Amino acid sequence: MFLAVAGLLTFTAFQSVKAQDEEAAPAPEAQEEVAAPAPETPVNPFEATGSDKPLHQQLKAKFIEGGAGFMALVLICLILGLAIAIERIITLNLAQTNTKKLLGSVEDALKKGDVEKAKDVCRNTRGPVASIFYQGLIRMDQGVENVEKAVTSYGSVQMAQLEKGLSWISLFIGIAPMLGFLGTVIGLIQAFDAIEVAGDISPNLVAGGMKVALITTVGGLVVAIILQLFYNYLISKIDTIVAQMEDASISFVDLLVANQK
């Protein structure tokens, strides 16, 4: 779905470039008419051009000026990175469990000698902590040492599942600025090619190539910054959940030892 959205945005950008080229081409009748030169008006170089346009139109114009090919790749990195980040945020929020309430329910069931009820409590509770408790209750008759090994091993499995997808976000964080820098180098090459063809150093030729180069660089850096913020938030969220898992696992093993005596 996200690839389809990215493709649609890229196609729209190419169509906008084509439409602008068609509008820029003068009509045959207009070429025959020669208008009188308009009086020159002083231009303020510090005045922002296109400031009266809406923000989305300005972003669209910069997207086209930066080169639809490279900017589309940077946009795809942003879309895929945000998709994975949002999915991870939802998953991690669902993975949080009220460990005190869960431990209290399991303890009440074990005090009554009803292990099956304790298993049902863990099965009906979402989150990695409940899954770890369930694995320990299954091996309760095998001794505390086996239960502790099972809790530790399954805790590592749950931790790996929590970190799933973070490597892709890290990949997009690294790729986005690289694509921007690649567009920068290509823009500079185009500027020097234009200077070589013209045979003279013109400010317009140099400014055009530099503008394309800087736009691609800014695009890549903005995408990397946005994804980096989401990445750090996810890392802190995972660290919090892992700390809860470890604390709850220790309390669970102590609970089993107390009920076996």
Note whether residue 28 is domain-resident: no
3-state secondary structure of 27: coil
The contacts of residue 27 (CB under 8 Å, 6+ apart) are: none
Note whether residue 142 is domain-resident: yes
- The angle that helices 203-260 and 144-162 make with each other, rounded to 10 degrees, is 160
Note whether residue 193 is domain-resident: yes
- How much is the pTM? 0.69
Q: Average pLDDT for consecutive 10-residue bins of the chain (261 residues)?
A: 47 47 47 47 45 61 63 88 94 87 86 84 88 86 82 87 90 90 78 72 67 79 94 93 88 80 55
What's residue 82's pLDDT?
A: 94
Q: Which amino acid is at 161?
A: Q
What's residue 110's pLDDT?
A: 83
Name the DSSP letter for residue 164: T
What's residue 9's pLDDT?
A: 47
Give the chain's domain count.
Answer: 1
What's residue 205's pLDDT?
A: 64
Note whether residue 261 is domain-resident: yes
* Structural domain that includes position 219: 1-16+66-261
C-alpha Rg value of the chain to the nearest Å:
30
What's residue 143's pLDDT?
A: 79
Note whether residue 196 is domain-resident: yes
Paired tokens of 211? 């503008």
What's residue 223's pLDDT?
A: 92
CA pair distance 138, 120, nearest whole angstrom: 11
Note whether residue 50 is domain-resident: no
What's residue 48's pLDDT?
A: 44
